[in-house]
Amino acid sequence: MKSTAFAAVAALGIALSGCATIVDGTTQSVSVTTTPEGGASCALTNSQGTWYVTSPGSTTVHKTKTDLDVTCNKAGYKAGHVMAVSHFTGKTAGNLIFGGLVGAGVDAASGANFHYDPVITVPLGERDATQRPAAPSTTASTGKPTS
């Protein structure tokens, strides 16, 4: 009887191996916003690849232990850049109990035991002076624009 119970627990442990991989998956949707809002072209890069989105917008990235490098460009502004920190998720602790080292190893290898904040805000740099339209010149005598 004890061996049957042990076999059942072992089978459950094997079935739950990679629990975070099964429950949360190896990808995650993230939304990117910018200040000022809208129209910026953004590239999100980590050790698993590069994804592109126009702000405000969302894309699905592969999760990993490396941070997500986010760079956004918008005409008339200096580029904005943030590092979205990769956070360790607690589901792997439960995996150690039920799935043992095999399950924890599966989660670590797949990146499933990490996640990024679901909304990433990238502040763009100050307005680029080279992109500003020139102010019309005026003459001192008439105050009218010159051609």
| DSSP secondary structure letters along 67-103 | -EEEEEE-TTB--EEEEEPPEEPTHHHHHHHHTHHHH
Q: Note the pLDDT tens digit of each residue in 35-73.
A: 999 899 999 999 999 999 999 999 999 999 999 999 999
- pLDDT at residue 26 in the model: 85
At 72, list the tokens.
Answer: 């956004």
Q: Which two tokens stand for residue 113?
A: 């035991």
Distance separating alpha carbons of residues 96 and 136, to the nearest angstrom: 69
| pTM confidence score | 0.65
End-to-end CA distance of the chain: 99
Q: What is the mean pLDDT of residues 106-123?
A: 79
Q: With H, G, I as helix, E, B as strand and everything else as coil, classify residue 24.
A: coil
